[in-house]
Amino acid sequence: MPRSKDDKVSILESDDLEERRSFYTSENSLGKVNSLRRSGFEESIREFKHSTSDFETLIHLLKGNIGTGCLAIPQAFMNIGLWGGVIGLPVIGIISIHCMHLLLRSSRELCWRSGKDALNYEQTAEMCFHHGPERVRPWSKIFFRVVQTFLIITQIGFCCVYLVFVSLNLYQAMECMFGGTSLGPISYMGIVVVPLIFLCFLRNLKLLAPVSSVAMSLQLLGLIFIIYYLVRDLPVVEMKVPAFVGFEKLPLFFGTAMYTFEGINLILPLENNMRNPDRFPGWNGVLNSGMTLVLCLYVGIGFYGYLEYGDFVLGSITLNLPGDEVLSQSVKLLFALAIFMSYPLQFYVPVSILLPSIVDKFSTERGKYWVDKAFRTGIVLLTFILAAAIPNIALFTNLIGTICSSNLVLIFPPLIETVTFWPDKGWCYSKLIKNVCISCFGIFGFVTGAFSSVSEIVSFYKSDDTAFATGC
């Protein structure tokens, strides 16, 4: 029998968590439930003007996960071996995707408890402690700040990687096309920073949407050409590279692999903006479909990239492309432009978190205007200084992957789910054991990977190698 309006309201206001969850499941849409709470069951809150379709959400998911990390996968294979990578990367990928589901499931539950229509990553982290067991509630603000800090460091790290990537590819392309110039990679980095500062003055994401679309198109075109270079004239698999190189560099493989799954901070915003959010999770939902495509692309590029270039593979596969062909240099320029245009989107996250609290301290509009410009300029220059200090793509991807991505992808989501649903009816200890195992795996990778990454950075500074391969 259909429930009356009064019955639905009483369920929404009930303290019985199990009854509310059962009602949520029957309604089959978080947006519909929240619209019942707010607007008297007239229409779903998800049917707002700028909601996204399933296909649009899939495109955003692909764009958020296919970046510089995709091009670094062949070097990850170098650190573990050809067949070690074929096995290891999907294992890490499946665990990471599962953790995305944990975060999504917890966020939906916490929207129920807090009466919110949507929560982002750091809000979900805060609410899980705030509405969790009595003992952990005082830690809600601390956990919020911890997650927020890792998000900021991660995005600034991505910006640093983007700067190194653009400068190295520009440097290599110019060296090969013009037979050598007087400018070094750091000089190109300094040239690139100037237009980036003005591009990052754009405060509205809507204004960045066309830039993002063009960047995505350039990346897709570049990937097509890269796949062409990787599959032509392939060597015999058994004779070219080792199947497994041992455990010594396994933490470096872990760091690069974790870096590639850089889109976990997009999961909740994408689901929150969907017209039909119930189609995002599920075994054949948008999340699984998109991440399966991403994982297959990663394995393919890693396999063929390492098979083609072996132990000479660099931090970005574009740097290994032939130096005597116009097409290969055009691919480098394509990717350099695409990543350059993607920088403001990565830049937007830390600025949106840090800037409001600073701007609010000024009372005049003129003061707020100049503080806004100065802060944005300062963050861009900070990424330039960090990128110039460690001008090596592989070192940066390993460092960001082990320190930040391992926490955001593998450690925090199981913790959030455990706190959210503990203690609760239907919770089984096997889930607790599973979450503890995933978190321990993340912590182990974090500790060993961070140690290995720092050791590699120290070795980089001690060596006389400039680490700027021309590829010509």
DSSP string of 18-59, one letter each residue: HHHHHHHHHHT-HHHHHHHHHHTTSS-TT--TT-B-HHHHHH
* Eight-class DSSP state of 118: -
Cβ contact 400:161 at 8 Å: yes
Tell me what pLDDT residue 12 has.
Answer: 46
Distance CA 15, CA 399 (A): 45
* Eight-class DSSP state of 52: B
Tokens of 133: 């067991």
**Phi, psi at 316, each rounded to 5°:** -135, 130
Tell me what pLDDT residue 424 has.
Answer: 65
Tell me what pLDDT residue 47 has.
Answer: 44
Fold entry, domain 51-462: Amino acid/polyamine transporter I (1.20.1740)
Tokens of 386: 């960090």
Tell me what pLDDT residue 206 has.
Answer: 66
Q: Where are the domains of the chain?
A: 1-47, 51-462
Alpha helices in 119-199, H assignment, sequence order: 121-130, 140-178, 185-199
Distance CA 153, CA 135 (A): 29
Tell me what pLDDT residue 8 has.
Answer: 46
Residues of the chain with pLDDT under 50: 1, 5, 8-9, 12-13, 15, 17, 24-49, 471
